[in-house]
Structure 1
C-alpha cells in the first residue's frame, strides 16, 4: 500500500515499511517487526536491528491504514 503524506510517501507491506521523503531524496526503511505506532500524536516509530527513527503522521487515518497492513496495535 502507498500512502501520500505531507513530507512524501509511505510504502507499507506486511514485511517492511519505507518512507520516501521528498526534496531531500531520503528513504527510511525498517522491517515490520521493528515498527511501533503511537496514537497521540499519530507517529511511526522504528526501533530495532540498528534502526532508530520516528515520524509524525498527518492524520489518524494514515495510522489506521498502516495498522491494518502491519496488523499491530498503536500505543
Structure 2
C-alpha cells in the first residue's frame, strides 16, 4: 500500500517539498518513486492491492517463482 499511496496520493506533495515527507525526512525509496513517476506520466493506471494467496493468478505466480528459485539455489 505504501507504493500505491506514494504514487497516487503523495508524489505531487513530495515533488513540491523537494522529495521530502511531511516529517522533513527524505522520501523512502526516493529514486524509485522518481522513476515510477517519470514512467507513468500520461498513463491512466488503476493501482490495486492484491492480497497474497487470494487466488489471483499473477499474484500466485509472483509468490511461487521466488520460492522455487530459492529451492534451486539450495541444491
TM-score by length of 1: 0.27
Structure showing greater radius of gyration is: 2
| Bigger fraction of residues in helix | 2
| Bigger fraction of residues in strand | 1
